[in-house]
Amino acid sequence: MEEKQFYLDEDCVVSAFWGEIGWLLQDSQGYLRYLKFEVYKDKKFFIMTHKGLFPFLSDFCDYLLPLPEEFYKEGLHGDCYEAVPIDAPPGTLTNPKTYVALWEYFRNFYNKEKAIEIKMPRGCNHYIDDSCQQIFANYDLEKIEADTPIFVVLPRARSRATNRNVPEYIWKEVIDTLSKDNLVILAGTPDGACLVDYEKENIVNLINYKGEDKTVLTMRYLKSAVCSLSSQSGGTHISLLTGCPTYCIGHERERHAIHSNRLQVPVSFRTVQDYRAIDSETILTDVANFVQEMYGSDDKDKILLDSIIEERLKNA
């Protein structure tokens, strides 16, 4: 959509988001959906955000606009509600000039006199999450059939807060074991995940996939998976909000396993302070126990966890 090719000249509610995906999923989109369905039922909803986030908003938004190309040329990274330089310390806000420029760009596409502008809180602010009603969608997506069980791995490798990255070689060991008897899906973004180009039998790597259906495809695999594996990240929130049983490595168990678990899906949470200290044996043992607890240890024909069990016994 190019500037001025579209113009909304009617009563509407507009908002914009350019921060971390987890903050959109847990702290703002549910509030906007509530406003659409319960407060401003007769108004059009129009949101500007990253194109890859459209599938999470399309059920209640009438119009969606991608952020301008100039935004990406600045090389900014998401931090809570903000877009900040890669070397910015925690708590940094979006540069004022960038913030104003984004809203000025957005206003080319709607009549400001007929619009209610809802601007997200700034920085690390849980105002919406704690003080406002929210409605969350249980996304109705077609599942993907496979000959073997599906596991989705979201191997975070962001340059901000590197202590929250599980080492790449650990994820590789886990994935190599899982893929012996199962289909493993690797998901994430090229600038936020490791194993970007990793290829092997029984592995589908979506990290560097550039198709416009990438987000929906990832969500469909999550809908179809035995469980997902991730360190505490935006990928964890995607898993939780698609209803996928979730194994998470992190330091905020209550937040991810309880408070942000909107659909009350099964969660196995491994608490660590430095994610770089975990080993593949621990992850595989946790996942084996988690899956057996959910599905039963006698259901081998359905779950096919032989290689995980074998690995656990070998290292016992």
**Beta strands at 77-79 and 82-84: parallel, antiparallel or unpaired:** antiparallel
125 lies in the same domain as 156: no
- Name the domain boundary from 97, 131, 165: 131
Provide the pLDDT confidence category of residue 316 given band limits of 50, 70 and 90: very low
**CATH at 175:** 3.40.50.2000
154 lies in the same domain as 257: yes
291 lies in the same domain as 251: yes
170 lies in the same domain as 51: no
DSSP letters spanning the chain = --TTS--B-SSEEEEE--S-HHHHHHHTHHHHHHIIIII-TTSEEEEEE-GGGGGGTTTT-SEEEEPPHHHHHTT-EEETTEEE-TTPPTTPPPPHHHHHHHHHHHGGGB-GGGEEEEPPPPSS--HHHHHS---------PPPP-SS-EEEEE-B--SSSGGGPPPHHHHHHHHHHHTTTSEEEE-S-TTTBS-TT---TTEEE-TT---TTHHHHHHHHHHH-SEEEEESSHHHHHHHHTT--EEEEES-HIIIIIIT-TT---EEEEE-S-GGG--HHHHHHHHHHHHHHHH-TT-HHHH--HHHHHHHHHT-
Residue 139 falls inside a structural domain: no
Residue 183 falls inside a structural domain: yes
Residue 315 reports pLDDT greater than 70: no
248 lies in the same domain as 116: no
Mean pLDDT of 150-169: 91
Q: What angle do CA 97, 103, 105 make, to 5 degrees?
A: 95
Provide the pLDDT confidence category of residue 307 given band limits of 50, 70 and 90: low
Alpha carbon distance 20, 22 (integer Å): 6
211 lies in the same domain as 95: no
- Structural domains in the chain (count): 2
pLDDT in tens, 112-121: 999 999 999 9
With contact defined as beta carbons under 8 Å apart, do 290 and 268 qualify? yes
- Name the domain boundary from 131, 161, 184: 131
Alpha carbon distance 135, 37 (integer Å): 9
Residue 1 falls inside a structural domain: no
Instruction: Report the mean per-residue pLDDT for the chain.
Output: 91
pLDDT in tens, 250-267: 999 998 999 999 999 999
176 lies in the same domain as 216: yes
pLDDT in tens, 13-61: 999 999 999 999 999 999 999 999 999 999 999 999 999 999 999 999 9
Residue 28 falls inside a structural domain: yes
Residue 38 falls inside a structural domain: yes
Residue 137 falls inside a structural domain: no
243 lies in the same domain as 207: yes
The residues facing 24 across adjacent strands are none
Alpha carbon distance 144, 257 (integer Å): 26
193 lies in the same domain as 154: yes
Q: Residue 136 is encoded by which pair of tokens?
A: 């969350």
Mean pLDDT of 149-166: 90
pLDDT at 295: 80
101 lies in the same domain as 182: no
Backbone angles phi, psi at 62, to 5 degrees: -85, -30
pLDDT at 162: 82
- Name the domain boundary from 78, 99, 131: 131
Residue 4 falls inside a structural domain: no
Rg, Å, the chain Cα set: 20
108 lies in the same domain as 217: no
195 lies in the same domain as 263: yes
Q: Residue 27: which domain range?
A: 12-131
HSE (CB half, 13 Å, CA atoms) of 121? 18
Residue 296 reports pLDDT greater than 90: no
Residue 59 falls inside a structural domain: yes
Alpha carbon distance 244, 141 (integer Å): 12
Alpha carbon distance 64, 62 (integer Å): 7
101: CB partners within 8 A, 6+ apart = 70
pTM: 0.89
